Each structure stands twice: as structure tokens, then as C-alpha cells.
Amino acid sequence: MSRTGRVQRNTKETSVLVEIDLDGTGQADISTGVGFYDHMLDQLARHGLFDLTVKTDGDLHIDTHHTIEDTSLALGAAFKEALGDKRGIVRFANSAVPLDESLARVTVDLSGRPYLVHVEPEGMAPMIGSYDTTMTRHILESFVAQAQVALHVEVPYGRNAHHIVECQFKALARALRYASELDTRQPGVIPSTKGAL
């Protein structure tokens, strides 16, 4: 069974292509024009063991917002497509990932209902290269809206902005990987008393 998703999203602001294979090996081919965001998407692929292709051409002459937002929306839609009817998945998962002085805890439910709780330290440096650190929450909001998952992300402490953001993506990757894996104890079963997710 192929668990892949492919989404093309074209607007007057951006042109986005996202392809994902949930049962990959962590191969990534990422190009958004926003270096740090590319680095984070590479972390998502590598630690989630997702094969991920992202090609975005956006209006970076304005700023990075539309490029990052539209890529995140397409990524969420591709992830949802790859999950299919979610038959046989584990569904729930959590992961805690440290990066030096920072720690991220991520819990996910592939529920079919979008909800985000996001907590990170106040007073972070506002920029990492051309990446606006306030966009991390918006990336997660956009992904959750299209993937239709419940996602709780907490960074209880950290000082370095790069570390604070990166450990979130690594923990997200692991949680999504574990939740989307096929459950050998319930093969082919939709993990819900409703019979649908």
C-alpha cells in the first residue's frame, strides 16, 4: 500500500509543490528560498523518516511570510492525503527532543480534527537569518489546519532561538512518524470507536 501525498498550490503569491512518502527513508529535496525553513523541513524528513520534496517559488521580494505559510498549508494537505483513511495507524504519539539547553515536547493525535496548543519561551531573538521566529507557530497552525490533526507543542525552556525552533521540528517529526506508523497489533483497523477518523 502506497502512503504518499502530492499537492500543488498556485496563487498570485506562491507556487508550491509538496510530495511526501510516509514510509520513506528520510530523503529530502527542499527548496523554498528561506534557508532556515529549508533546514527545518529537512529535519522533519530526516527524523520522521519521510521522503519529502518541497519546491516553492514565492514573493520573497515582499517577505518570507507567504512562502512559509503556503508551503506549510501544502505540507499539511499532502500529509493528510498520504494518511488516506488512516486504517491501521497507531494514531497517538508523543516525543521529547532536547537540543543542548532547549527541550521540546510534542504530542499528536491524527484525529481528523484540527487543534493546536503551542508554548515556547518569551523573548526569543526575532530573526534567524531571514526566518521570522514568530512564524513557527504559524507554520504549525497552517499544517494543523490542512492535516486535520490535534497537535500540542511545548518548549518549557531554552535560550538559543535556533535551538528552540529546531528541537520543535525534530520532536514533531518523531511524533508524526510514530503516530502514522502501522500498528502490527491492529492491522487494517481504524483506531477509533467511531470507526472513522
Q: Is residue 76 part of a domain?
A: yes
Is residue 163 situated within a structural domain?
Answer: yes
State which residues form the domain around 72: 4-180
Task: Note whether residue 147 is domain-resident.
Answer: yes
pTM: 0.97
Q: How many domains does the chain have?
A: 1
Whether 80 is covered by a domain: the verdict is: yes
- pLDDT for position 62: 97
Residue-wise pLDDT for 22-38, tens only, equals 999 999 999 999 999 99
172 is a domain residue: yes
By the 8 A CB rule, do 169 and 155 touch? no
Domain-located, residue 185: no
- State mean pLDDT over 128-136: 97
pLDDT tens digit string along 100-115? 999 999 999 999 999 9
Q: For residue range 156-182, what is the model confidence (pLDDT) as tens digits?
A: 999 999 999 999 999 999 999 999 999
Residue 131 has pLDDT above 90, yes or no: yes
The answer to whether residue 85 is domain-embedded is: yes
Question: For residue 1, is pLDDT > 90?
Answer: no
CATH number at residue 70: 3.30.230.40
User: Residue 48's pLDDT band (boundaries 50, 70, 90)?
Assistant: very high
Taking the C-alpha atoms of residue 182 and residue 89, their distance in angstroms, rounded to an integer, is 4
pLDDT band of residue 77 (cuts 50, 70, 90) is: very high
Q: Which residues, other chains included, contact 154 with Cβ-Cβ below 8 Å and sequence gap of 6+?
A: 104, 105, 106, 117, 118, 119, 120
Quick: pLDDT tens for 8-18: 999 999 999 99
